[in-house]
Every structure is written in structure tokens, then in C-alpha cells.
Structure 1
Amino acid sequence: MEIRHFEAADRQELRELFTRASEGSPVASLWSDPESEASIYLDPYLDLAPESVFVAVAGGKLVGYLTGCLDSSKFPSEAERIERAIRTYRLFLRPTPARFFGRAMVDTLAAAIRRQSTAGDFQDSRWPAHLHIAVAADARGTGAAAALMDRWFARLDENGSPGCHLQTQVENVRAVRFFTRMGFTPIGSAPLIPGMRYQDERVHQQAMVRPGEQM
């Protein structure tokens, strides 16, 4: 298993892995349009923070990746990236994405009526860095995910980061267990993620944080 920095030549294979690595998880597909989804959760990191993107290679193939950002305040928010994708790909004019966003609006309205919170960007200067990680199903259990995280932690320490956060789903039990083993702890409530469903059930966001070594 080799863990290395992302290279420009990896982009196409990484784009294919982006779709494959999420299979079977609550975020397997938000609205069944990999290109627009990658424009939110993959491409901005390759374009704006390539030095914080790491890949796991086994048998000459990419089997996992980690995208990150040292200072989330200097990176476009998830909400901004989603709004840009909606405009660029005209998602409201496509049947499947339109159904997703319609369901999201209904969920948001229902939560407002019940005075319940909904998921959003995490903002706390104590944990300014953030990450996303994904490993292909056939590489899970091989140590690829832990190796990617260790490489990311080394980058945080080298840059004196006070801490890191991530956002996962309560229903993604495997991921929560993994992040806990890697030193992350849950923080805050678990608000509804509007529009998202997993096994026909609503999905909830869980923020998790890990302090830097100097803390």
C-alpha cells in the first residue's frame, strides 16, 4: 500500500473512484448525478487545495483518497459549492436532482415548523481544518483508510494546526466507529440532513473533532 500526494494525472481515475468508493454508504449518491456531485465534494479540493489531497495506491490502482483543507474559512463552504453546482448543471431542470431538492425543501420546512435544526457547515476556529475520506469496498480492512488519516495528521502537525473536524452521518455506523478509533469525538447535536435518505429513512449529520498535537 502506497500513500502519496495527488498528482494531476490521477484526476480521471480519482473521479471514477469518487463514485465507486461511496457504494453502499448513506452518501452513495445524493441525486444520481456523479458529475455534479464531484463538482461539490471532489473537484474544488483538486483545484484549490491539491497539496492536501492524498491517494492510496495498491496494485497500481487508486483504492482510496483523502481530501482536506487546513483552514475552512478560506475554502468555499459546502452551501456555496452546492449553489454553484445547481446553477452550473441546472439541477432543478433534471428530474432526479429536482426530486431530491424538492424533498430537501419539504424536510427543511417541516423541521422549521417543529423547531428542529437542520445540517449545515461546521464553523469553529478551534478546529479549522476539515477532511473527506473514501476507500473502495475491496480495499476496506486493508489499512488504507488509517494510512491516509495518518498522512493527513502529519500534514496538520507540520503546519501547526490546532485541530480538525469532519462531518459524517449518524447512520453511517462503520464510519463513526472508524473516526472514533482515529481520535475524533462527536460534538453538537445530530441535525437532519434535508433530502437525504438511506434505506428509505431520514439521515442525520454528526460533526466530529480532533485537536492538534500541540493542544
Structure 2
Amino acid sequence: MDAKPQPAPGFSLRSYHPEDLGAVYRICLETGDTGEDATHLYRDPELLGHLYAGPYVTLEPELAFVLEDAAGVCGYVLGARDSSAFYARLEAEWFPPLRARYPEPEGDPDTWTRDEHLITHLYTAPPQDEALFGRYPSHLHIDLLKRAQGRGNGRALMAALFAALRAQGSPGVHLGTSPQNVRAERFYRKLGFRELKREPPYTLVMGRGL
């Protein structure tokens, strides 16, 4: 990977600002169906953001970077330095107000809506994988809208996060992606990620040293 990859012409990369929150939530939703727009899948457009974007920009904003062009923010990368500590903060700080807002679904899961299936994640403690966290303690989420893809912007975002994680002393980072998202897997492999484990049918876990 180049020492300092730059965004494509017409795009700029910067640290996250609090006023970017709405755009970050929107991008999370518009890439939430294995990279495709998930707007039509959920009644509540904020649910995906509450799980996969909001806690990162709120709890570790120094590890959040956004990409923008003339039309506005069109991509982001979000990180957590210490996954165990981050998940503990989710349980203590992030989930309680959301649980008050979204009651835990009851009854037969086969009758639940997509929203209700997502809501259950607010009541489920993230897995603690000490073997994984020992070597790759940090983790990340990256999403770009279609207009920003395929132009080196993702590489530039990842480079910014890697530099920030190295500055905080992290030895490695991991991520989860859908095994069906072949394009994403190819992108991660080009950046030096390797497969660590598969958790069928939903998640491929990959990691790389820093």
C-alpha cells in the first residue's frame, strides 16, 4: 500500500465532525444491504446507524474519518482501538437509552420484522474473542456511496485510520464482512487483510497487523 494514499480528484478526506452525524447515518443505511441501499428494508431509518455508526463517532470520534465531495459526505471509516473496552462501553453507555426507546421483541422470531431482528442486537452482548482481540484488538467499519467507489478513496480512508490506530499503539485490526460481498473481500485482501475465521452464514472475519 502507498505510504500516504490520497482521495481521488474532487474528493477530500478529513476527521469526523459532530455535524456529520446525519450523513454518516444515511450512508450506513444506503450501504446496509451487503453494500447496496437498505432504505426499503427498514421502517426505522436510524436502526442500522444506531448499531454500526453512532457508537463509534460518539465514543471514539478521534478514530472516525469522512470522505466528501461537492455533493457532501459520501463515505466514512470508523474505528475502535480496544474492542473489549469498546463493547463494555456499549453496554454501559450506548445501549441503555436505546433499550428504553426500543423494547425487546417478543414472541416467535419467524414473525418479526427486519426492524425487530435488528433491535435484538441491542440486547445481545457482542462476542468476546480473546484470541482475536489479543493480536487484532482494534476493529473498523468502512462504507462508501457508489459515486465514491472504485477510485482509491477507500484505500485513502483506510490509510488514515491505520495511521491513527498505530499512533494509539494498536498492533492489529480486524473487521467482519458478508461472505457474499465478494467485492469487499477483494478490497480488504488488497490492503493486506487475511481470513481469520468464517461464522456461517453471515460473517467473514479478516485481520491485518499494523
Establish whether TM, by shorter chain, passes 0.5: yes
**1:146-166 residue CA offsets vs partner (Å, 9 max, x unmatched):** 110010111122222111111
C-alpha separation in 2, matches of 1:79 and 1:50: 14
Report the CA distance shift for 1:206/1:167 in structure 2 as closer, same or farther (over 3 A): same
- Which residue identity lines up with residue 96 of structure 1 in the other structure? T
The normalised TM-score by structure 2 is: 0.75
* Separation in structure 1 between the aligned mates of residue 152 and residue 179 of structure 2, nearest angstrom: 23
Question: What pairs up with 1:79-158 in 2 under 5 angstroms?
Answer: 80=91, 85=98, 88-90=101-103, 92=105, 95-97=112-114, 100=117, 120=127, 122-123=129-130, 124-158=133-167
Letter in 2 for 1:204: Y
Which residue identity lines up with residue 7 of structure 1 in the other structure? H
TM-score, with structure 1 as normaliser? 0.73
How many residue pairs were aligned?
Answer: 187
- Does the aligned pair in 2 maintain the 1:19–1:28 contact within 8 Å? yes
Percent identical among aligned pairs is 30
Cα distance between partner residues in 1 of 2:41 and 2:90 = 16
Using the alignment, how far apart are the partners of 2:52 and 2:105 within structure 1?
19
Q: What is the RMSD of the two structures over their aligned residues, measured on CA atoms?
A: 3.3
Where structure 1 has 5 or more consecutive residues not aligned to the other structure, the ranges are 105-118, 193-202
Partner of 2:64: 53
CA distance in structure 2 between the aligned counterparts of 1:63 and 1:207, rounded to whole angstroms? 25
Match of 1:22 among 22, 26, 32: 32
What amino acid is the match of 2:145?
A
- Please point out which of 87, 107, 120 is paired with 1:76: 87
Describe the superposition over 1:4-43 as per-residue Cα deviations: whole angstroms up to 9, x where unpaired: 1000111122222221233563794796233122111111
Contact 1:129 / 1:164 at 8 angstroms: preserved in 2?
yes
Contact 2:29 2:37 in 1 (8 A): no
Q: Is there any run of 5+ residues in structure 2 with no aligned partner, and where? A: 1-10
- The offset of 1:82, in angstroms, is 7.2
Q: Are the counterparts in 1 of residues 47 and 115 from structure 2 also a CA contact under 8 Å?
A: no
